[in-house]
Amino acid sequence: MQRRELLVGTAAVGATALSGCLGTQATGSGSNTNTITVTGSAETKADPDRAVVEVSVEATGSSATTVRDDLAAQSDQLTQALRAAGIDDDQVTTGRFAIRERRERPREDEQPPRAVYYGTHSFSIDIDSVDETGSVVDTAIDGGADSVDRIEYTLAESTREDLRQQALEQAVSDARSEAEVLAAQVDSRIVDVQQVSTGGGGVSPYFGDAAVTMESAGATELQPGDVTVSADVEVTYEIN
């Protein structure tokens, strides 16, 4: 079962409330309405249920054409290895592809400086089962990947939306509690909600160490951390 943790939210008086904790709005009838504006924030944490591994193949040669062909061969070898491991093609997307020239200092018998071409082709692999992340890393390395560039632990879209809703509910509750305290300080009470808006917040993935730890048996062991989903709200209350 996925572990989820609702963290304690915070609330703060908004800009309208900085001058005496009260704001004033004119209504259509010409009367004034007293308001309090507060902001609320909350976070939820959960175990990741999705991972993204980014790996690269690299090549060096005396011409861009040579490097391109080497990258193509290595990329095909890597793709075939991932397929053989049961990873679907739609789980693998091409990332960065680059070939660059670098002039290197010539040897004693060489003039002028010789050109060397360096190339890299990266791939992002989406993993639905976090427990399989280490196995996928091993498959990529055994399949010819020259580097493991990034390991990101995150959440599926449905999980993300569920946790964001929980965070929003807590943020609104915190804002309400803060507003009630402020209203009581001026012998007033909340009678209505004037405006609610949300902004900021989001998902903070956990990034694993790309320098993976290899056990004696050659298997990669990874320990993912929590993913955090946060939400912020600003609420303007009418008081009397």
Name the β-bridge partners of 6. 44
How many C-beta neighbours within 10 Å does residue 52 have? 18
In this predicted model, which residue has the larger pLDDT, 61 or 32? 61
Prior bond of 112 cis (ω within 30°)? yes
Model pLDDT, residue 164: 95
Model pLDDT, residue 28: 45
pLDDT tens for each residue of 35-46: 999 999 999 999
Stated length of the chain = 240
User: Which residues have CB under 8 Å from 87's CB, separation 6+?
Assistant: 125, 136, 139
Q: Which of 154, 170, 194 is the last residue of a domain?
A: 154
Is residue 16 domain-shared with residue 31, that is, in the same domain? Answer: yes
What confidence tier does 23 reach under pLDDT thresholds 50, 70, 90?
Answer: low
In single-letter form, the type of residue at position 211 comes to: A
Instruction: With 0.85 as the threshold, say if the pTM is over it.
Output: no
Q: Which of 99, 127, 154 is the last residue of a domain?
A: 154
d(CA 157, CA 128): 12
Model pLDDT, residue 3: 53
Is residue 146 domain-shared with residue 63, that is, in the same domain? Answer: yes
Q: What is the CATH number of the domain that holds 104?
A: 3.30.70.2970
How high is the mean pLDDT of the chain?
Answer: 84
Does residue 213 carry a pLDDT above 50? Answer: no
Domain count, the chain: 2
- Considering only 3-7, 47-51, 123-127, 159-163, which range has the smallest mean pLDDT? 3-7
Is residue 71 domain-shared with residue 81, that is, in the same domain? Answer: yes
d(CA 174, CA 177): 5
In this predicted model, which residue has the larger pLDDT, 52 or 18? 52
Q: Which of 154, 179, 202 is the last residue of a domain?
A: 154
What confidence tier does 106 reach under pLDDT thresholds 50, 70, 90?
Answer: low
Q: What is the CATH number of the domain that holds 197?
A: 3.30.110.170
What confidence tier does 103 reach under pLDDT thresholds 50, 70, 90?
Answer: confident
Model pLDDT, residue 109: 64
Model pLDDT, residue 208: 83
Question: Stretch 163-189: mean pLDDT, rounded?
Answer: 94
Model pLDDT, residue 122: 97
Does residue 29 carry a pLDDT above 60? Answer: no
Q: Which domain holds residue 232?
A: 4-46+156-239
Residues of the chain with pLDDT > 70: what percent? 79
